[in-house]
């Protein structure tokens, strides 16, 4: 490899890690083995990461960072309301996951699909909840009578849980271009916002019918 001749970066190490994991059908057993295969020194690795596990966490954080970067390249993004910003994030985020689907599926299924306890998602969770907190508008707070800190916390937690459910749905989605995941995103976020506005019936029934149809009739 030509990695020694070029400048090593965090992104290059992440790329090496993902390729190694897919090629060997398992994550590296040690920093020594990983660096030896990629012809870099352990010192070079430790300049960017302290452990193999920290590389795993960085991958999902990079998915988040790239999503935010792409959102802000859209000049209209800042004028979006809360719902459309959340939709924009989800659609963009899952496009990135799809581009790296083999790695993501392998990583999650390696841990028995236990998304809630998946250590690699800790950084993503922290950043996503921060994103949700930042897009909550004063208008939204005004609409929600007595919108207190605990309600804002509940909204962030429910949004994170919703993202996990969407990842689970995407993992099981076999539709062309994962179009059913797009439908899931739209219906679930619409239902969430209508529930917050205490007008949930139509969207919740519609969302419920969609989930029931996918889980029962797709077997």
Predicted pLDDT at 119: 82
Percentage of the chain lying above the pLDDT 70 cut? 77
More confident residue, 193 or 188: 188
Q: Give the long-range contacts of residues 176-182, CB within 8 A, separation 24 or more.
A: 178/94, 178/98, 180/214, 181/94, 182/91, 182/94
Q: Is the pTM of this model over 0.85?
A: no
Range 50-86 burial, b when 16+ CB lie within 10 A, else e = eebeebbbbbbbbbbeebeebbeeeeeeeeeebbebb
75-88 pLDDT, tens digit each: 999 999 888 999 99
CA angle, 45 then 51 then 57, to 5°: 105
- Poorest-pLDDT segment among 15-19, 41-45, 146-150: 146-150
What is the phi-psi region of residue 16: left when phi exceeds 0, alpha when psi lies from -120 to 50, beta otherwise?
A: alpha
Average pLDDT over residues 196-215: 55
Whether 177 and 119 have beta carbons less than 8 Å apart is answered as: no
How much is the pLDDT for 85? 94
């Amino acid at each position: 490899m030509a990695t020694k001749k070029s400048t090593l970066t965090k992104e290059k190490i992440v790329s090496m890690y993902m390729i190694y994991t897919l090629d060997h059908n398992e994550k590296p057993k040690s920093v020594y083995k990983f660096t030896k295969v990629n012809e870099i020194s352990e010192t070079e690795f430790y300049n960017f990461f302290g452990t193999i596990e920290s590389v795993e966490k960085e991958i999902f954080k990079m998915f988040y960072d790239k999503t935010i970067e792409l959102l802000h390249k859209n000049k209209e993004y800042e004028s979006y309301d809360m719902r459309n910003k959340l939709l924009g994030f989800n659609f963009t985020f899952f496009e990135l996951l799809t581009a790296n689907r083999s790695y993501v599926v392998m990583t999650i299924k390696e841990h028995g699909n236990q998304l809630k306890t998946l250590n690699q998602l800790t950084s993503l969770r922290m950043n996503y909840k921060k994103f949700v907190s930042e897009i909550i508008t004063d208008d939204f707070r005004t609409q929600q009578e007595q919108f207190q800190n605990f309600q804002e916390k509940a909204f962030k937690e429910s949004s994170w849980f919703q993202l996990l459910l969407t990842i689970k749905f995407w993992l099981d989605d076999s539709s062309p271009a994962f179009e059913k995941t797009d439908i899931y995103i739209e219906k679930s976020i619409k239902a969430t916002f209508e529930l917050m506005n205490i007008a949930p019936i139509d969207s919740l029934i519609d969302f419920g019918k969609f989930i029931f149809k996918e889980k029962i009739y797709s077997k």
